[in-house]
Structure 1
C-alpha cells in the first residue's frame, strides 16, 4: 500500500474542501453573522493547512484498484470529519457526534438531521450545510478528476471514478475519463443554475432558491424551513422541485446522449424507461389510495403530493410537502419499497438503483429458465447487450453485503428501543441515503432522540450507502493494508 500516494490524494480532497468553505464565510458576512463567519474561517484554516502540506507530496508510483478504493473511503471520512468543524466551533451544534452525523448526512446526500429547529441556524452554516449536498451529489473525487491531472493515463482516474460513482458498472461518455468527469459536472452545474433561475421567477428569495436547489441537485433534501418545502405555499414551486428531483435521479449519461442527439440509445435505455414507469406508477397508486381519505374531491392535489413524495423518496432526496407518515398503510409501504429501489445508476440519487434491481430480476428469470431447460445457453441482457459476468457477480455480491450490513445495523440500533417501525425505517433511510423514514424519524421528526452509539452506526450506514459498500469494506480489511500490491499497476504522476 502506497501511503504517500494516499496522503497526496487525501490532501487534495482537504484542499478542495477548504476552498469550498470560503463562500460560506462570505454568506455569513453578508448576513452580518460575525460568530458564524469566524467559526467557518477557523475551520477553513484547519482544513487547508494539512491539505496544502499533504498535496505537496510527490509520488512516482502507480495506483492500484485497492488503493483507489482506500483513497475513496478514507477521503470521504476525512471530508466529513473536517466538514463538521464549522458547526462544532460555532457552538450552534454543541456536540461533535451530532456535528459529524449532520455533516455525513450532508456529504452522502442523505438529509437525515438531528436539528429540531433548523430556522435557528445562521445563514452561513445553513449555506455550508446545504452545499455539502451539492458537493457530495456528484462526488468530490469526480470533481477532482474534472479539474486536476490526478493521474496520467486513463486507468488511474477510472479506478477512482469506479470507487465513487454509484451503480453496478461505470462507463465513459468519451475516451478520456477526465473529460467524462468534466462533461458530467457541466451538465450538473447547468441543471443547478437552471433550477435556481426558475425558482427565482416563481417568487422564491435568492437564498432560499439556492439552498433548495443544492438539496434538490444533490438529492439530499436538507431543508432550511422547519416545514420543509411545505413552508412555501406555491403549488408551482412544489411541482418545480418535484420534477427536478426526478430529473436529478436520472443517469447523467442519458442527458449526454440527448445532447448528442442519440435518441435511439435513449429510447433503448431500459433503466431510464423503468425508472419513469416505477415513479409514475407508484405515484398514481398512492394518489388513488389517499384520494378519498385525505383529498376528498381533489384528485389533482392528491396526485401532486403523491408524485412529490415518490419523487422525493425514490431519488432519496427527502423533501416533503405532506406528512406521508399519516397516510394509509399501503401508501406508506409503497413509499418504503421505492425507497429501497432508489434512483438510476450514474445519478446523484441513492438506493439499490433501478439498474441493479433490473439485473437481479433478469438474473432470477434466467436461473429459472435454465432449471427448466438446462441445455439451453442464455445470458442476461440489458439494453439489448450482453451483461458481463463480472457485473452480475458484483451485483449479487453487493446484494449479499447489503443484506448483511442491514441486519447488523438493525440489531445494533435496536438497542435504543425505539420500536420496530422507527428502527427499521431509520436504518433503511440512512443506508439508502434517503433522509426521512417512518415513525419518530418521519417527515416531521428527526434523529436527535437516538443515542450517540446509534448515531455513529447510522452515520457509518450513510457512508456505506453513498460509497456503495465496497470502498469502505476495503478500508476495513487488514489484507488490503498488509499487501503491497493487489492488482495490476496503473500509471500515476
Structure 2
C-alpha cells in the first residue's frame, strides 16, 4: 500500500469534486437567493484541502493494487459526504445541525433519497438544485467519473472501477481500456439524463424542475424539489415518463452499452437478469393494482396510475412518490418495501441486493432440490448460456448472509436508540437498500429521529452504496498484512 499515492489521488478527486459547487453558485446568482457564499465556502475548503493532499505527494507514482482501490474508494466516499455537507452547514436556510447536514449529503451521494428536510418548496433554489446534483453525481459514481477523466490514475484505475461498480461480476469490462469503459458508462448516463430532462420539460415542467428531476430519476435517487415529490405536478404524463426512466436506469448500463454497440434490441430479451427484472416488476405492479381495486382504495384510473408508479418507484429503490403507499391496506406496504431488497440490476445506479444475486440464489435453491432427488447427478448453475463458477455462487451466498447479519445488527442498534420496531426496521432497510422512504416515524422525513440513529443510517447508506464488502474488508487484519 502506498500512502503517498493514495493521498495524491484523494487530493485530485477532492479538487474535482469542488468544481461541482459551481452550478449551484450560478443558480444562486440567477435567482438571487443570497446563498452563493455557502457554495463558495464549500468550494474553497474543498480546493484547499485537496491541494494540501495533492501537492506534497504530486511526484508519487506507483501502480495501484486492489487493496489501494478499496482504501481510496471508501476514503473518498467518506470524505465526499463530509465535504458535500459544507453548503448545508454554512447556509442559514436550511438551518441544519452538523449531523443533519452530513445525513442529507450522504443520502444524496449514495442516492438513498432519505431527507431530514421539510418545507423543501420554500428552500433557496440553489440548495434545491444542489440536492438533486448530489444524487446525479453519486448515481454512476464520481470515482468512475474520475477514472474516465483523470489520466493521472494510470493503469491502476481498474482497482477503483472494480470496487465502485455494483454487482457480483465486477471483472467484466465493456471495452479493452478501463478509461474507455468508464467513459462509455458516463456517455450513456449523460445521454439518458438529457433525454429525461427534455421529456419532463415537454410534459410541462419548467427547466429548473426538469433538470433537477432528471438528475434524481436517472440516478435512481428520489430527491425532489418539492415536498410532495412527483405528486406536486399531478400529471399522468410526467408520472409515466418518470416510470420509464426509473426502469431504464435500473437496468445494467453495460447491457445498454451492448445494445447500442450491437444495434440490436434483442440483447435486452436475451439477458436473463433483464428478463427476471421485468417479470418481477410486472408481477408486482399487477398485484398492487388488483389489491388497490379489490380493497376499494381506488375506483378509477387513478388506482392504475398510482399502482404502477409506486410499485416501480419502490422496487427500483428510486423513492419518488405520488401517493403515500404506507397508508395502503393489507400487505401492500410491506410487500412493496420488501421488493426494494431485490432492487435494481447489477451495474445500474439502483440499490438493493441486485436482481442478479436474487436470481442466482433462486437457481442455486432449485439446484439443491434437484440434488436431493438425484444425489449422484452433477448440476450446474447457468445464466443464459454462461456457466456460473462455484466462486461466484459462494460469493453471492456470502454477500446475502452478511447483508442479513448487518441488517439485524443495525436494527438492534436503532431499537436501542428508542425507535419503535416498525420505524427501526424500515429505516435500516431503506438506508441499506438506498431506497429513501420508510414506514412509521420515517414515512415522510428523518428529521425527528435521534442523532445516534442518523449516524447509524449514514453507515448503512455507505454499506449499501459500496455493497458491504468494500467497507468490511478494511476491518480484516489480513487486509493490512504485507
TM-score by length of 2: 0.96
Aligned twin of 1:32:
32
Q: Which moved more, 1:103-112 or 1:113-122?
A: 113-122
Q: Which moved more, 1:213-222 or 1:413-422?
A: 413-422
Q: Does 1:69 align with 2:70?
A: yes
Q: CA RMSD in A?
A: 1.5
SS at match of 2:116: coil
CA distance in 1, matches of 2:459, 2:407: 11
The alpha-carbon distance between structure 1 residues 367 and 93, as it changes in their structure 2 partners (threshold 3 A), is: farther
Q: Does 1:467 align with 2:466?
A: yes
* 1:264 to partner: Cα distance: 4.5
Q: Does 1:161 align with 2:141?
A: no
CA distance in 2, matches of 1:212, 1:248: 13
* 1:474 to partner: Cα distance: 2.5
* 1:335 to partner: Cα distance: 0.1
The alpha-carbon distance between structure 1 residues 356 and 101, as it changes in their structure 2 partners (threshold 3 A), is: same
The alpha-carbon distance between structure 1 residues 360 and 164, as it changes in their structure 2 partners (threshold 3 A), is: same
Q: Pick one of 121, 132, 140 that aligns with 1:130.
A: 132
CA distance in 1, matches of 2:388, 2:273: 14
CA distance in 2, matches of 1:250, 1:294: 33
The alpha-carbon distance between structure 1 residues 429 and 133, as it changes in their structure 2 partners (threshold 3 A), is: same
Q: Any idea what the Cα deviations from partners look like across 1:67-126, whole Å, max 9, x if unmatched? A: 111111111000000000000011323311100000000000000011122123211111
Q: Any idea what the Cα deviations from partners look like across 1:174-203, whole Å, max 9, x if unmatched? A: 111211111111011001000111111111
* 1:45 to partner: Cα distance: 0.5
* 1:262 to partner: Cα distance: 4.0
Aligned twin of 1:5:
5
Matches within 5 A, 1:190-339: 190-259=191-260, 260-298=262-300, 300-339=301-340
SS at match of 2:448: coil
Matches within 5 A, 1:11-160: 11-34=11-34, 36-56=35-55, 57-91=58-92, 92-153=94-155, 156-160=156-160
* 5+ long unaligned stretches in structure 2: none
Aligned twin of 1:357:
358
SS at match of 2:319: coil
SS at match of 2:144: helix
* 5+ long unaligned stretches in structure 1: 485-493
* 1:263 to partner: Cα distance: 4.2
Matches within 5 A, 1:394-473: 394-442=395-443, 445-473=444-472
CA distance in 1, matches of 2:311, 2:11: 39
Q: What is the aligned length? A: 477
Q: Any idea what the Cα deviations from partners look like across 1:429-454, whole Å, max 9, x if unmatched? A: 01100000112222xx1111111110
Q: Is the 8 A contact 2:2 2:68 kept in 1?
A: yes
